[in-house]
Structure 1
Amino acid sequence: MKRQKRDRLDRAFSKGFQAGVGGRSKELCPYANLDSRSQWLGGWREGVDGRVNGLFNK
């Protein structure tokens, strides 16, 4: 069970990262669960930082 929960949070983080790199708004977060939402937003922030710093091109 722990592995499933961790995998869901990892997936939320990676989906948020992809959204940040893609330039999507953080208001479009699809998660309502607090843990998943915070992971998604954390990934989104890292994706936006990477895009702003020129690490990724859209």
Structure 2
Amino acid sequence: MKRQKRDKTERAYTKGYQNGLSGRSKDICPHDELNQRQAWLTGWREGWSDHVDGYTGVSGIQKSNQHYL
């Protein structure tokens, strides 16, 4: 059975969140397409906020899965 690919905007959001949570710069956004870039930056902002609030490890991962839904 084939696995269905995830939505590209969902993936962009998740990757942005992970980069923000890691404390990386938002300038490293790899997307040029508007919707994917917007999703990545939204994820980055939320990840950065969680980074500043001290969410790390498992708590950050669990939180990232809840944000996009």
TM-score of the alignment, normalized to the shorter chain, above 0.5: yes
Aligned to 2:49: 49
- Kindly indicate whether structure 1 or structure 2 has the higher relative contact order, using CA contacts under 8 Å at least 6 residues apart: 1
Higher helix share: 1
Instruction: Using structure 1 for the length normalisation, give the TM-score.
Output: 0.84
What is the identity, as a one-letter code, of the residue corresponding to 2:37? Answer: R
RMSD: 1.5
1:26-41 equivalent positions in 2, closer than 5 A: 26-41=26-41
Bigger CA radius of gyration: 2
The count of residues paired between Structure 1 and Structure 2 equals 53
Aligned-pair identity (%): 47
For structure 1, which runs of at least 5 residues remain unmatched after alignment? none
Aligned to 1:24: 24
For structure 2, which runs of at least 5 residues remain unmatched after alignment? 58-69
